[in-house]
Each structure stands twice: as C-alpha cells, then as structure tokens.
Amino acid sequence: MTRFSSLLASALILLLPVASAGAAAPEPAALFEAKTVADRDSTLTALEAAPTDPASAYAAGAGQFFTALEILASGLHRHGFESPQSFILPLMRLPVPDNPNPEPLTYDGFRAILVAFRDRLEKSAATLGSVPADADIGIEVDLTRLGIDLNEDGQIAPDESAAAIMASLSRGGAPDPAAPALTFRFDRADGYWLQGYAEFLMAQADFWLAHDFRNAFEGSFHMLFPRAKLPLQDTLVPPDGGMSGGMLSSEWRIADFISLVHLVNWPVVEPERRQAARRHLMEMIRLSREDWKAIRAETDNDREWLPGPQQKGASPLTGLEVGEAQVQAWHAALDMAEDLLEGRILLPHFRFVDKGINMKRFFDEPKPFDLVLSITGPSIAPYLESGKILTSEEFDHIQRQFGGAGFLTFALWFN
C-alpha cells in the first residue's frame, strides 16, 4: 500500500524539467528549484516566451502541469479542505495544510476550481505535445527541492516538496532520511508520460464538470470542507470538527460518505465534456504507446524515472525492476482499454450474462449518471449490447504478468 500511495502521489505532483537549449531562455533548473512562487512564475513566463526551443517548451509544459496542481491545492486550502486520506477519492488526497480561517465555498466556486485546474492541464498537454519526438532533453531533478505552494503563502517550503508530499501520503509523516535519493534524470520519453497524466486528470475533471452535482456537494461535501459554511455544516459537522484520522475512522465521515454515494445521481449539463473525457483517455493510451516506444529506443541507464527492460536495476521510487513480460502485458492492457473505449469489446456486468456495456456510447451518448443504479443495473441498461464481452480470464492473464507488486502499482507508474 505504501508503494501504491507513493505512486499515486507522484502521479499527481511530478514535474518534468529539462536542460535549456537556448541562451534566450532561463535555465529550467531555476523553475524547478525555486523557493518562491514569484521566482517560479517569472521563470515559467520566460520559458513560455521561447516556444521554438524544444527544451524551453518541454520545461514550460511541465511547469504548466505543476501550476495546475497548485491551482487545485490552493483552491482546496483557501476553503479549509481536510483530506479524507482515502484512495477512494484520489484527487482529494493532497496533504493540504490546515487553514484556521477558511473562506466560504459554494457549488459554483468549487466548479470554478475544477475548471481552472482542468484548463491549465489542457495548456500543459498542448505545450508538451509541441516538443519534437527527437528532441534531446534531459536534466537532473531532486524531488526534495521540487515543490508546490500548498498553503498560499507565496513560498515553496521543504515540507511542500514532492518528496515530502509523497511521504505524507504513504506514511503520514516527513521523508525518511534513510530512504534512497529521489533524484532522476528526465528525458524525452518522460514528457509523453507527463502529457499522458495531464490527459488522465482532464478526463476526471471533465467527467465531473459534465454533470450537475450540486445535491452531492451541498449534502455531503462538508466532510471535506467542514468550516466552509456549506449548507449542512451547522447540522452535521461535530462542534470540534471531528477531523482526526482518515475517512473510515470517524462515524460522521462514514455517514457523509454514504450520503455522497447516495447523492451521485447527476443530470448531464455539459454533454460535450463527457464526450471529451473519453477522448482524453484515448489520447492517454496513445501517449503511453509513444512513451514506451521512446523508452525502448534509449541506450543509456541514467537515473531513469521509468526504465525499460534494457535498463537494469530496481527503481529507487518503487523498488521494482521492469521486465519484458511486464511491458508486453502493459501493451495488452492498453489494447484492451482502447477496445473498450471504442466499443469493439463490451464491459461485463454481473446482472447481464449475454450482454455487455458499450463504453463508447456511455461517454458519447450521456445520460444522467447514477452510481448506485449503475452498480445494480437500471442506469446502465441503455448501454447494453450483444457482442464480444471482456472476460475475467483475459484480465487475469494480464494481471499475472505483474507479479506480487500487482497491476495497479505498475499501472500508476507506467501510465
């Protein structure tokens, strides 16, 4: 579980810097080692102004990804977010510091945070996509010096570093001094990796924004923002805040999580966003293939973020080594995911033996999303079709190739 949490956290906070190729642009290292938001932003602006230089564009795209995460973290902090520390809500796991004087939060305000986060990710993906495939890029990054401003004080402190955030998510504490050094040399292949994660996070944001989730927000989000003046704060939040421990360690948070599940009955208000969510996932699959194509072409083995089978040695991040069988299994998983998203194969549902869910139609022909009724069957019935249905044996065969670490651990790392 520690590896899973670390990988999830690293997926959310990693910024991929590169060496500057032109004298007109600042050294990208200044962007990734900045101790203040002002210094970081001024360097990013300069890098964005040099779009014809591949290294500057790569660094700028990475910086835009980084600041997208900061937009999300700042918005959460501003309204007194209390992390549930649960993998059930992955985007809500950032270790945002306590805010003793949070601002009130409304449903429209929360949507605005998601829109700003999503739009910044889109800019990042576009910038990273402008980098030529053959660009010679690489720079060392120490994750103890890379960070984001979690508490909106304009500083990027050591306890806001990537290493500190990963440690908080995996162990609930400070980085372990005995842990391996988290210094990596990021190259062109890693740019595809980061661009793919931008697409993945955009898919999540667009899916939420496609729907009107006001009832869920007003009826349960006080468990995440207990002092932001949500409608039921005075009625349902304990007087002392009751925020000790994780989501599943307090009765009132369990009750509110049940309320959230019950209230996921969301009308579609922006159907184009649900359609876009599928396109983002398809683009993520394409970028993962490009990533592995670039990884396989590498002949060095210099502090790799994601090594290929030819680059021997366990990763200091995961403690895992990548073999050919795992890469082949990952490509099979990508093919399977693409077939599902294109409707070429159907997703099984335990209620239906001879029909499966056409996931392309689920995204492209959006209807109200009801979580409980999707699980029990009624809400998923409009998307049922006859055809080839994915079997558990097919997925189990892929899973077995990843050994004891498990498919999810490698999936979060591989993207």
pLDDT digits (tens, 9 = 90+) for 26-64: 787 778 889 999 999 999 999 998 767 888 899 999 999
pLDDT for 139 equals 76
pLDDT level of residue 2 (50, 70, 90 thresholds): very low
Token reading at 154: 């304009």
Residue 413: name the closest of 281, 305, 338, 313 by CA: 305
pLDDT for 249 equals 61
Q: Average pLDDT for residues 116-132, to the nearest whole number?
A: 97
Lowest mean pLDDT among 21-25, 224-228, 239-243, 315-319: 21-25
Residue 221: name the closest of 105, 49, 50 by CA: 105
Report the C-alpha gap between 128 and 194 in whole angstroms.
Answer: 8
Task: Indicate if the alpha-carbon torsion angle 199, 121, 225, 164 is positive or negative.
Answer: positive
The answer to whether the CB of 63 falls within 8 A of the CB of 44 is yes
pTM of structure: 0.89
pLDDT level of residue 154 (50, 70, 90 thresholds): very high
Q: Average pLDDT for residues 152-160, to the nearest whole number?
A: 93
* Strands 265-266, 183-187: pairing kind: unpaired
pLDDT for 5 equals 41
Q: Evaluate if residue 234 carries a pLDDT over 70.
A: yes
Q: Average pLDDT for residues 145-173, to the nearest whole number?
A: 84
The values of phi and psi at residue 239, to 5°, are: -55, -35
The values of phi and psi at residue 211, to 5°, are: -120, 160
Q: Average pLDDT for residues 197-203, to the nearest whole number?
A: 97
pLDDT level of residue 6 (50, 70, 90 thresholds): very low
pLDDT for 27 equals 80
Q: Of 383 and 404, which is predicted with more confidence? A: 383
pLDDT for 94 equals 73
Which residues have a Cβ under 8 Å from the Cβ of 304 and sit 6 or more positions away? 184, 185, 298, 311, 315
pLDDT for 177 equals 53
Helix (H, G, I), strand (E, B) or coil at 406: coil
Report the C-alpha gap between 124 and 131 in whole angstroms.
Answer: 11
pLDDT for 171 equals 56
Lowest mean pLDDT among 165-174, 192-201, 321-330, 381-390: 165-174
Q: Of 207 and 408, which is predicted with more confidence? A: 207
Indicate the domain borders of the chain.
Answer: 2-211
Tell me the range of 97-101, 252-256, 259-263, 315-319 where mean pLDDT is highest: 259-263
C-alpha pair distances (Å), 8 with each of 11, 92, 114, 203, 363: 5, 11, 19, 16, 25
